[in-house]
Amino acid sequence: MKPSVLDTARYLQMDRQNVWHPYTKQSALDAGSLPLITRGEGVYLYDSEGRRYLDAISSWWACNLGHGHPRIVEAIVRQARELQHSILGNLSHPRAVEAASMLVDLFPDERRVMFASDGSSAVEAALKISLQYWHNNGRALKTKFVALDFAYHGDTIGAVSVGYLPQFHKAFRPVLFPVFQAPSPCCGACAFHEAPGICLEECFDTMRLILREHAHELAAVIIEPMCQGAGGMRIHSAEYLRRLGALCAEKEVLLIADEIAVGFGRTGKMFAHEHAGILPDIVCVGKSLSAGYLPISAAIVRAGIANTFRDKPEDRTFYHGHTFAGNPIAAAAAVETMRVYAEDRIVERAAASGDVLRRELESLAGMPGVRNVRSLGMIGVVELLEGKDGSGSARAQRIREALFRKGILLRPLGSVVYVMPPLVTPVEVLREMVVRIGEAMRDTA
């Protein structure tokens, strides 16, 4: 039922008094009331006044199957009637077993699944697993990590240490642990460089040098495969990733793939690392694991690593977990989500839709103030030229505002205007979305 205008005003007043909005500037709150979202259906969100918005960011990269999918909603309701919560410590339940089994079946090798709640929690688990794995094997000096600059892996302290972005995390720098940092591949656009072969070598040299000189003290390299998200949608080549996988294997350094944003079909493959034909030691998933409907994440770990965490003859148990890890209702949503992916061939459909998105975005490449246009699967990026005065970032916000008035929800990253719509977005809606983006760009030139 649609709230009355009076109800809307009351909720927004309560919001201003009580809610601390994530990643939201106070000036934006002071400027006016926020939309009160009350319903989701398909690829759209609806506010309390009945206005419709295309969810072009999949509500922050999670709702790959859109909103209100009847099968997932029914799975949640059905499970809520049976079992609401039961811990996984020394207990189990059917939905966690099914979800773990289905995740493992997505890999060609034997794996174990450590459930968590959100993406940061899965990354924290992966980092700790890496550290203890080497400790279990008598190589306790391997305690350091390698990450890319412009990386983002979440907002807990360990995740921030390996994914430090000054614009978000500067205040926390004193408590972060040191990390070896390699350059982001070609500023994220190897595929668009004039000489990609030369560029690839330059990008990879520092990573190669770090592993050659420090392998004896390195536990793992962590990477967002193929696309660095919050750092600016920086797309890199599959060849870079392939070389990294081979180098990590050669130097006996674990490779952690943070697939939380790019997994489950977002790049046109089930997992982004598949573009390079590699098998990371640990794969972190979340967000779209439950189609974005409930919080659940996981670290999917090679069995050879997990098997070192035994308690005899010496106790090497992994003393780590979360109260709601593998929660039955969230796990039920994940199980049904993976069934929908398989039965409806979501990844294949997303790959085809991604080709449409890429072709449509190409029409924006020659517009004034555009640095480049790039895409990967159902990720589309228009990067604006950024002046020293922040003119590109300011323009990106004007574009966001113009599109919001036209019923399209975006969240630019600095001078980067990007779209990550639900994978099930009809192609005619994708085309219309790009037309509207072009209009907004012309209006703000």
Q: What is the pLDDT of residues 79-107, one digit of tens each?
A: 999 999 999 999 999 999 999 999 999 99
Tokens of 376: 């990967």
Tokens of 235: 């797309």
pLDDT the model gives residue 202: 82
With bands split at pLDDT 50, 70 and 90, how would you rate the model's confidence at 200? confident
Burial of 153 (0-12, 13-18, 19+ CB in 10 A): buried
Burial of 70 (0-12, 13-18, 19+ CB in 10 A): exposed
The residues of the chain that CATH labels 3.40.640.10 are 71-343
Tokens of 134: 């080497």
Residue 193 pLDDT exceeds 70 = no
pLDDT the model gives residue 277: 98
> How far is Cα 105 from Cα 96, in angstroms, rounded to an integer?
14
Name residue, tokens 């794996």.
Answer: 111
**Tell me, what amino acid is at 89?**
G
> How far is Cα 38 from Cα 444, in angstroms, rounded to an integer?
30
Of 194 and 361, more confident: 361
With bands split at pLDDT 50, 70 and 90, how would you rate the model's confidence at 194? very low
pLDDT the model gives residue 3: 59
Mean pLDDT for all residues in the chain: 94
296-301 mean pLDDT: 98
The residues of the chain that CATH labels 3.90.1150.10 are 35-68+345-444
Question: What's the pTM?
Answer: 0.96
120-143 mean pLDDT: 98
Helix, strand, coil abundance in the chain, percent, nearest 5:
45, 15, 35
> How far is Cα 165 from Cα 22, in angstroms, rounded to an integer?
16
Q: Which residues form the catalytic set?
A: 23, 152, 258, 287
pLDDT the model gives residue 190: 45
Taken as a whole, the chain contains a residue count of 445
CATH of 71-343, one of 3.40.50.2300, 3.40.50.1820, 3.90.1640.10, 3.40.640.10: 3.40.640.10
> How far is Cα 93 from Cα 326, in angstroms, rounded to an integer?
9
* Percent residues over pLDDT 90 in the chain: 90
- Report DSSP state, residue 434: H
294-316 mean pLDDT: 97
With bands split at pLDDT 50, 70 and 90, how would you rate the model's confidence at 185? confident
- For 202, residues 6+ apart whose C-beta sits below 8 A from its C-beta are 186
Name residue, tokens 């720098």.
Answer: 173
Q: Return the number of other C-beta atoms located less than 10 Å from residue 390's C-beta.
A: 13
Q: What is the pLDDT of residues 371-428, one digit of tens each?
A: 999 999 999 999 999 988 999 999 999 999 999 999 999 999 999 999 999 999 999 9
8 Å CB contact between 416 and 189: no
Q: Per residue in 16-44, is it b (16+ CB within 10 Å) or e — as a string?
A: eeeeeeeeeeeeeeeeeebbebbebebbb
Q: What is the pLDDT of residues 343-356, one digit of tens each?
A: 999 999 999 999 99
pLDDT the model gives residue 188: 43
Residue 337 pLDDT exceeds 90 = yes
275-299 mean pLDDT: 98
| Pairing between β-strand 282-285 and β-strand 297-302 as defined by DSSP bridges | antiparallel
Residue 187 pLDDT exceeds 70 = no
pLDDT the model gives residue 30: 82
Q: Return the number of other C-beta atoms located less than 10 Å from residue 146's C-beta.
A: 25
Residue 32 pLDDT exceeds 80 = no
> How far is Cα 306 from Cα 112, in angstroms, rounded to an integer?
7
Top-level class of domain 35-68+345-444: alpha beta
With bands split at pLDDT 50, 70 and 90, how would you rate the model's confidence at 189? very low
The residue among 444, 373, 378 whose CA lies nearest residue 57 is 378
49-59 mean pLDDT: 97
- For 400, residues 6+ apart whose C-beta sits below 8 A from its C-beta are 410, 411, 412, 417
Residue 313 pLDDT exceeds 50 = yes
Looking at 215-295, list the stretches that DSSP marks H as alpha helix, in order from N- to C-terminal side: 238-251
> How far is Cα 445 from Cα 439, in angstroms, rounded to an integer?
10
**Max CA distance (Å), the chain:** 70
Residue 228 pLDDT exceeds 90 = yes
183-192 mean pLDDT: 60
With bands split at pLDDT 50, 70 and 90, how would you rate the model's confidence at 201? confident
- Angle at alpha carbon of residue 231, lines to 107 and 151, rounded to 5°: 55
